[in-house]
A and B are shown apart, each in its own frame.
Chain A
Amino acid sequence: MYDGGKILFGILIFLAFVTFPFYNDIGKANVKPEPKIDTPEIQKLPQKKCVEPKAFMKAEHMKLLNEWRDSAVRDGNRVYVASDGKRYIISLQNTCMRCHSNKKEFCDKCHNYAEVNPYCWDCHIAPKEAKIAPKEAKNEY
């Protein structure tokens, strides 16, 4: 066999390249995002609950936001009565983000993982994260 060594070496290099994506991901693979909920506003809650059950929020929050948007802007109804009867003022900036004031550690954690980039923040002002303690909660009454 002529040049067997060279061929083997070539094959090895080839295999190294082809499998690169696999071993490069070892350890990193499937690190699920863990959105943090340790904000001052959520700490104050007697029960750490979102406007709707967690499973629903996880899967449907974008649809809920669309409904909120249409209800407030188009129908002029700015109170959301949740399935547990609690009432919330409909506002992305003043309700969702008052609790989830850690956008970078919460919304963005998931969105970066899922590669979604909601354009809402072109207009809606994201919480200033350097600051502490947002204003007194007004989102529930």
Chain B
Amino acid sequence: MSIDRREFLKIAGASAIFALGGMAIVNDIVKDNLEASQFSPEPGALTARKWAMVIDMQKFKTEDDYKKVINVCNSIHNIPDFGNPKDEIKWIWTDTFEHTFPGQQQEFMPESLERMPFVMLCNHCDNPPCVRVCPTKATFKRKDGIVMQDMHRCIGCRFCMAACPYGSRSFNWRDPRPFIKKENPEYPTRTKGVVEKCTFCVERLAKGLMPACVEASNGAMIFGDLTDPNSEVRKALSSNYSIRRKPELGTGPNIYYIIGGADNA
């Protein structure tokens, strides 16, 4: 028996319809019994098209000003203190001008600037190299610009650490739990073998709160939507000259620094 082209198309069409219909019926039977359940953001959540931060270094005057912003982050996020730089876990930390802005130091710049510590955290880049190299999509860019780290997917390969030009990522070489001074029971710890970094406090933004460092900084750190011309960050940027870390690399860092004059520093 042979079939002509017309006959073949008829049979193929009929079986396709039959198969689709069958699928719909099967789907109906095994359908999730939680149809009505769904997910949504919290009503008061802070949202933006692109989060950015301005750090006004002129307002960091005493050692205490630095400690406040760093300690609050460490304590709410259960960041361990191993007491040695090799194992250190850092979300927000400080370093010298030369290390923060390599290539931007001048020969005869104010000595105070050369010596003062600069606050650093993840730059939440427009074009994050860490995201590009992550093999499990554990680190990814959210719609609001935040570069997020999903601890559940991190396999600890550390490609992201090699890719990040800012040293914003830390690896847990050891079990952090015994080294956490006082656990915050509302936030998870991490475990040996995962990479972690600053998340711009996504868990706080979701509740309508500013990042913890911003809140503790007394106005020295400003946080807002870079795409909104009326936001605090835009106001600060349009009235001050600012610099960013290693912009020449093309990563598009979103932390801006206001350096100011020597008398302020």
List A residues at the B interface (Cβ < 8 Å): 52, 56, 67, 69, 71-85, 89-91, 93-94, 122-125, 127-128
Q: How far is the CA of A80 from the CA of B142 in the complex (A)?
A: 20
Residues of A within 8 A of B152 (CB): 69, 73
Question: Which residues of B are in contact with A by a Cβ distance under 8 Å?
Answer: 33-43, 45, 78, 140, 142, 144, 148, 150-152, 183, 185-191, 202-203, 206
Bound form: Cα–Cα A87–B182 in Å: 31
Asked if B188 contacts A77 (CB within 8 A), the reply is no
A76-B142 contact given A71-B39, A83-B36, CB 8 Å threshold: yes
Which residues of A are found within 8 Å of B142, using beta-carbon distances?
A: 76
Q: Decide yes or no: A125 and B189 within 8 Å by CB, A77-B41, A79-B39, A79-B40 being known contacts.
A: yes
Instruction: Give min CB distance, B87 to chain A, whole Å.
Output: 18
A52 to B34, CA, bound (A): 9
A-B Cβ contacts below 8 A, count: 74
Given A79-B40, A83-B37, A89-B42, is A73 in contact with B150 using a C-beta cutoff of 8 Å? yes
Shortest distance from the beta carbon of A63 to any chain B beta carbon, whole Å: 9
Q: A123-B189, A123-B191 are in contact. List 9 more A-B contacts (CB 8 A).
A: A56-B33, A69-B152, A73-B151, A74-B140, A75-B39, A78-B45, A79-B41, A91-B186, A127-B185
Known: A73-B150, A123-B191, A128-B185. A82 touches B37 (CB 8 A): yes
Once the chains bind, are A83 and B39 in contact (CB under 8 Å)? no
Closest 7 CB pairs of A and B: A77-B39, A122-B191, A71-B39, A123-B188, A83-B36, A78-B206, A124-B188
From B41, B43, B185, contact of A125 by CB (8 A): B185
CA distance A69 to B39 in the complex (A): 11
Q: Which listed residue, A67, A71, A123, touches B190 by the CB 8 Å rule?
A: A123
Residues of B within 8 A of A78 (CB): 41-42, 45, 203, 206
A135 to B258, CA, bound (A): 41
The interface residues of chain B lying within 8 Å CB-to-CB of A76 are 41, 142, 144, 202, 206
Taking CB atoms, residues of chain B closer than 8 Å to A79 are 39-43
Determine how close the nearest CB of chain B comes to the CB of A97; give it in whole angstroms: 9
A122 to chain B, nearest CB (A): 4
- In the bound complex, what is the Cα–Cα distance between A72 and B207 (angstroms)? 12
Q: Are B150 and A74 in contact (CB under 8 A)?
A: yes
Could you list 5 A-B pairs, sorted by A, with CB under 8 Å?
A76-B142, A76-B202, A80-B37, A82-B37, A93-B187
- Least CB distance, A84 to chain B, in whole angstroms: 8
Point out the residues of chain B lying under 8 angstroms from A81, CB to CB: 36-40
Using Cβ atoms and an 8 Å threshold, which residues of chain B touch A123?
Answer: 151, 188-191
In the complex formed, the residue of B with least CB distance to A123 is B188
